[in-house]
Amino acid sequence: MDQDSYCTAEGELLEAVSRITTFSTTSLSDEEQNQPRAGISCQMRRENPEKEDLQDSSTSLSSNSSMTTKELQEYWRNEKRQCRQVKLLFEIPSTRIVEHHFSKYVMYKIIILQTGSFDSNKSVIERRYSDFEKLHRNLLEDFSEEMEDVTFPKKTLTGNFTEEIISERKLAFKDYLRLLYSMKYIRKSKKFIDFLTRPELQEAYGCLRGGQYTKALEILLGVIGLQERLMRGNPVSIVPTLCAIVVCHKDLENPASAFEYGEKALSCLRVHTSHRYYIPLLDTMITLAYELGKDFLSLQEKLEEWKAKKDPIRVFTLKELAVREYVQ
C-alpha cells in the first residue's frame, strides 16, 4: 500500500470511529434523559449510598419527631432489621428422601452462588428439616428482635414426604436463607456460618485424621470458597481450613499447591503473628520453599525473629494442629 492510500484508509477509519462514538454518546444521553425519576434516584443511591442513607434517616427522624416512645422503639427496630443488598444467592433445586435404619427424612440440596457475575465456584451442601429447625432455635436465642417476623415452615403430622409438601418447603427454605443472609448481624454470626459449613468441615477433618487425604481435600476445597465469601471481614477465621488444605496437599506430594495455599494463609496472618497457626505454618512453608527451590531465607528470618521475642515453648506441627480441629 502506498503512502497516499495508507493516509486515506487511516482517515476513513478515524471518521468511522468518530461516527460510532458520537452515535453511542447520543444514544446513551437520550436513554438517560428518558429514564424515570425513580431510576435516577436509585442510580444516585448506588453512587453515594452513605449520603443518601444519612439524608433518608434525617428526613425520617425530623418527620417523625412527634413519635411516642413505643413508636420510636418500633422505628429503630425496623431500621435494625432492614435488609441489605444480597451478595449470595441460595437455590434449592432438588431433594432426596433418605431411609436409614428406622428413620426417614428429606435432604434438601442447597446451591450457594455469588450474585452479580458468573460464578464457577458454586458451593453445594445438603441439609435436612431438623438442621433448619435447630438453626432457627439458635438464632432466636441471639437475635429475637431480628427474627420476630421471620416465619419458619411448621412440622406436619402427616404428608411430610408428599411431593406437594416437599415443594412448598423447598421454596420456603430458599426464602428463609435469603432473608437471614440479608440481615447483617445474622449473616455474620457464628451460628449461621456454622449451619452452612460445619457439617462438611467435620467430615473433612475426620477424613484427614483417618489418612483419607484425597477425600478430605475435595471437601475442604468445596468449603473454603464459601468460607471466603461468608467471612470477608475476618480472614483469620479461614486460616485453619487453608492450613488443612496445605497438610493434605503436602501429604499427597503436591508441594506447589501446598505452597500456594500456605501463602494465602500467611497473608491472612500478616498482623496476627501470635496466632497458634503462625509458627507451624512458617515452619512448613520453609520446608516447602526449600523443596521447590524458592526463596526461604525471608521466611527463615521471620521464624528467627519470632523465636527471639518469645520464650521457648512446645509448638505443634501444622499437621498436629490440623488433626485437633473439630474433635468431638
CATH number for the domain that contains residue 210? 1.25.40.10
- Residue 126 in domain: yes
Rounded alpha-carbon distances, angstroms, from residue 282 to 292, 304, 317: 15, 10, 10
User: 3-class SS at 309?
Assistant: helix
Is-contact 176 152, C-beta < 8 A? yes
- Residue 131 in domain: yes
- Residue 184 in domain: yes
Is-contact 243 277, C-beta < 8 A? yes
Q: What is the pLDDT of residue 75?
A: 60
Q: Are both 172 and 214 inside the same structural domain?
A: no
Q: What is the pLDDT of residue 160?
A: 83
Give dist(CA 108, CA 249) in Å, integer. Answer: 31
Domain CATH number, residue 93? 3.30.1520.10
Q: What is the pLDDT of residue 235?
A: 93
The model's pTM: 0.72
Q: What is the pLDDT of residue 36?
A: 40
Q: What is the pLDDT of residue 49?
A: 42
Is-contact 196 181, C-beta < 8 A? no
- Residue 45 in domain: no
- Residue 276 in domain: yes
- Residue 67 in domain: no
User: 3-class SS at 315?
Assistant: coil
Total tally of structural domains belonging to the chain: 2
Is-contact 220 244, C-beta < 8 A? yes
Q: Which three cell numbers stand for residue 115?
A: 450474585
Q: Which three cell numbers stand for residue 181?
A: 443472609
Domain boundary among 146, 165, 188: 188
- Domain span including residue 255: 197-324
Q: What is the pLDDT of residue 77?
A: 61
Q: What is the pLDDT of residue 239?
A: 97
Q: Are both 297 and 258 inside the same structural domain?
A: yes
Give dist(CA 307, CA 279) in Å, integer. Answer: 9
Q: Which three cell numbers stand for residue 40?
A: 435516577
Q: Are both 175 and 209 inside the same structural domain?
A: no
Ranges of the chain with pLDDT below 50: 1-64, 83-86
Give dist(CA 54, CA 211) in Å, integer. Answer: 55
- Residue 295 in domain: yes
- By residue count, the chain amounts to 328
Q: Are both 300 and 236 inside the same structural domain?
A: yes
